[in-house]
């Protein structure tokens, strides 16, 4: 049996500075971030869909709203953690899995772009690294 994969993305704007980093990114700066959420699953519902795209975007939007137009270093989640693209991807994944049970087992990957050329990916389940369509 095959696997279905769904992806959607949203954008937000936020400032940050990297902790314990030598270079210009240790200073306050901002990005127009892009977040892509990818879900995978085998079973479709009666409508022939894995999870409604509107529901996926609503869940992602709720989590992203906490980051939008914020200084990320001041958020409790990043009080002692550098708000790098990698840590943002993990935080978004953890928040989605913790808040929305329908996404928990389907969440395959969260990707965070800080610009059009630089992306960090987080796979919450190590076994997903060996899953191939």
Q: Does 114 participate in catalysis according to the annotation? A: yes
* Tokens found for residue 85: 């693209």
59 CA to centre of own chain: 11
Question: Half-sphere exposure of 115 toward its Cβ, with a 13 Å CA cutoff?
Answer: 4
Q: Does 25 participate in catalysis according to the annotation? A: yes
Contacts of 119 (CB under 8 A, 6+ apart): 85, 111, 112, 113
Q: Does 95 participate in catalysis according to the annotation? A: no
Task: Please pick, among 59, 95, 109, 114, the residue that the annotation labels catalytic.
Answer: 114
Task: Please pick, among 62, 69, 74, 102, the residue that the annotation labels catalytic.
Answer: 69
- What is the chain's Cα-based Rg? 16
Q: Which residues are catalytic?
A: 25, 69, 114
């Amino acid at each position: 049996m095959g696997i279905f994969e769904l992806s959607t993305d949203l954008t937000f704007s936020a400032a940050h500075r990297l902790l314990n980093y030598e270079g210009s990114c240790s200073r306050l700066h901002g990005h127009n971030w892009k977040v892509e959420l990818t879900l995978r699953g085998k079973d479709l519902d009666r409508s022939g869909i894995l999870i409604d795209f509107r529901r996926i975007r609503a869940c992602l939007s709720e989590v992203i709203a906490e980051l939008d137009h914020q200084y990320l270093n001041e958020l409790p989640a990043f009080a002692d953690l550098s708000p790098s693209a990698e840590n943002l991807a993990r935080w978004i994944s953890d928040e989605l899995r913790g808040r929305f049970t329908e996404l928990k087992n389907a969440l395959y990957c969260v990707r965070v772009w800080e610009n059009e050329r630089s992306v960090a990916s987080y796979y919450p389940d190590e076994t997903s690294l060996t899953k191939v369509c």
